[in-house]
Chain A
């Protein structure tokens, strides 16, 4: 079974440009999460989809970030316009049950390393 995939693996853009990150969760997983790790700091939650609906987007830093999950399948995270402080690694995760379920396990993708110059 394929795991969570993310594209691209690495993106280098200039300040003010737009970047779109993509995440394909494990097939059948209704829950999809975005996290990011900035400047070697802790990994922080951004938002949580259940199917196509945003269950919790309290971690989104500001309105320059827009996440979508069309049809409840793959998700995109767009940053427009990108700022220097957006540099970091963006992780996507999926789970079959909610993150606090019996197993509690979320399956993570390899991440997208974003560098804003």
Chain B
């Protein structure tokens, strides 16, 4: 089963509104990260929140982390058409071989309507 699961799977809002996406994970984490993928382009790292942090801001982005509930949320305020993309949460998992890998959720497809 996946480490991260997100809801909603798809979200469509009007430009200027706020968008909230949620992510849940299963195991203990050192940090949780959010990525964005615009259509036809690669993944862009948005923000990282450490396990000892509860909230973090970056521009119009606000991320919260609740380790007791193993959940995180990403809030985009005052949305713009350019925010239309897929958003993924990801956690770092240590592998048996001593390496690390990112485990992603299924993502939320966000559409901002003009």
- Interface size for A (C-beta < 8 A) is 31
Closest-CB distance, A89 to chain B (whole angstroms): 9
A85 within 8 A of B: no
Q: Which residue of A lies closest to B5 (CB)?
A: A42
Which residues from chain B sit less than 8 Å from chain A, CB to CB?
2, 4, 30-31, 33, 35, 40-45, 48, 88, 90, 92, 94-107
Pair B42/A43 contact, Cβ less than 8 Å? no
In the assembled complex, which residues on chain A have CB atoms less than 8 Å from the CB atom of B42? 4, 6, 91, 108-111
* Secondary structure type dominating chain B contacts: strand
Residues of A bordering B, CB below 8 Å:
4, 6, 33, 35, 41-45, 48, 50, 55-56, 58-59, 91, 93, 98-101, 103-111, 113
A100 to B27 alpha-carbon distance, docked (Å)? 14
The answer on a CB contact under 8 Å between B100 and A98 is: yes
Residues of A within 8 A of B45 (CB): 105-108
